[in-house]
Structure 1
C-alpha cells in the first residue's frame, strides 16, 4: 500500500533580522526536533492561505506570505511529507505556543546549530543562499 503524501507549508518568519524556530512536542512525530512552523494545506486552500491560517492557529500571530524558498520531499517511514517553505513576514500578535514546546528567534547562521526536522534542511540552504548570495 502506498504511503500517504502530505502537502505541508512552512513559514521562515523574519522579524528584525532573526528567524523563528519552533520545537515539536516530545510525544509528537519528530518529537523534540526544531522546525519552521506551519502545517498541512487543506483542500481548496492556496499555500499562502494555509500558511497564514496555520500560523494563526499554532502561534496566534498574523503574517503575510512572501517569496517561495524551496521544497523538499522526505519519507518519514509511515508517510511522505512534501514541504514547501516560504519567507514569511510578521505582521502582528504576541507569540503563544499552542502546538510547540519552545520557540527561539535566531540569526540565519545559528539555525543549523539546532537539531532540525530532516525536511527543513533544504529550506535552510535556500534561505542562506538568498541572504548570502
Structure 2
C-alpha cells in the first residue's frame, strides 16, 4: 500500500506463540533487514488472505509448526526509513510440529518478563507492552 509520503506500507503479522507459559522469540538472520534482532515470528499478509490466515501460513513456512491464531494483542506502525511496517500482533497457540528454523538463526522460549533482556525489533515493542499488560 502506498502512503501520502510516497513510502510503501507493508502489512505484516506476528505471532506471540505461547507454549507451557513461555513465549517464542526468533532471531533475524545476519543478512536480513534488522539483522540479529529478536522478533515475534510471522510475515507479510498476501493479497486475498486475512491476517489470521497469513500468520498461520507464515509460522508453518518459517518454523514448520501448526498454530491456531488467538486474540489480537496490538498494532504497531514503524517507519524503517525505506518502508513503513504495519505490524499486527496476535497471540498464537502451538498445535503441532517440531520447531525448525527456516528463516531465523536462533530461537528461545522466554517468560514474558524476560523479553526486555533481548534486543527486539522496534516494531515488536508495542506487542510486548500489550502482552505484559494483558
| TM-score (structure 1 length as normaliser) | 0.97
- Which blocks of at least 5 consecutive residues in structure 1 are unaligned? none
Matched residue SS, 1:98: coil
Separation in structure 2 between the aligned mates of residue 33 and residue 99 of structure 1, nearest angstrom: 13
Instruction: Summarize the alignment of residues 48-59 of structure 1 with structure 2, pairs less than 5 Å apart.
Output: 48-59=52-63
Query: Hey, what does 1:112 align to over in structure 2?
Result: 116
Task: Note the aligned Cα RMSD (angstroms).
Answer: 0.7
| TM-score (structure 2 length as normaliser) | 0.96
Moved over 3 A (4+): none
TM superposition shift of 1:101: 0.2
Query: Hey, what does 1:71 align to over in structure 2?
Result: 75
Instruction: Summarize the alignment of residues 68-107 of structure 1 with structure 2, pairs less than 5 Å apart.
Output: 68-107=72-111
TM superposition shift of 1:74: 0.2
Matched residue SS, 1:65: strand
Separation in structure 2 between the aligned mates of residue 110 and residue 92 of structure 1, nearest angstrom: 25
TM superposition shift of 1:3: 1.1
Separation in structure 2 between the aligned mates of residue 68 and residue 109 of structure 1, nearest angstrom: 19
Separation in structure 2 between the aligned mates of residue 113 and residue 85 of structure 1, nearest angstrom: 20
